[in-house]
Amino acid sequence: MRGKISIILAVSFILVFSIAQGSVEKAEIDLEKVADNVVKAYTSVDPIAMANLYAEDAVVIEAGEIIRGREAIQTHMEGFIRTFPDLKIEFLTVIPSGNHIAFEMAVSGTQTGPMMTPEGKIPPTGKKVEFKAVWIGRISADGLIEEDRTYFDTADFMKQLGLIK
């Protein structure tokens, strides 16, 4: 009987320790704080603040383009802001889950600067774009974005700029 009680106590201790350890690991990433930081940086349209949310070796996948590393991400954001200097990003939905955050965004801006693409430079069209996008980020244990994937209707985006019919 004494042996069974000892085993039950040992198993109970291990179970409680495991549950507590799991809680500590989950508490390491405060997704709501990370989400708030993303919203603040992106709505401020500050490319340095935006890039500082990313890990040094982060990856951004957007419209078929893959951007690797914080420095390249900052350069990409600076270019997008030069292309659309009146850029406005509104966050409509925020969904934190596990080690991911998903955002639904409304994006608008007028293309008054050249737009760099993998195929070359597109001169300013002077046209305004308005579109919805979904941004999904994987967050590291230290609260930085390891990967972000942004999805939007690129054909509609190009139609609004007058690049396709």
At 1 the three-state DSSP class reads coil
Q: How far from 46 is each of 1, 83, 158, CA to CA, in Å? A: 67, 14, 25
Q: pLDDT > 70: what percent of the chain?
A: 83
pLDDT tier at 64, thresholds 50, 70, 90: confident
- Which domains does the chain carry? 29-160 (3.10.450.50)
99-124 pLDDT, tens digit each: 999 999 999 999 999 998 878 899 99
Q: What pLDDT score does 71 carry? A: 97
Please indicate whether residue 22 or residue 15 has the higher confidence score (pLDDT): 22
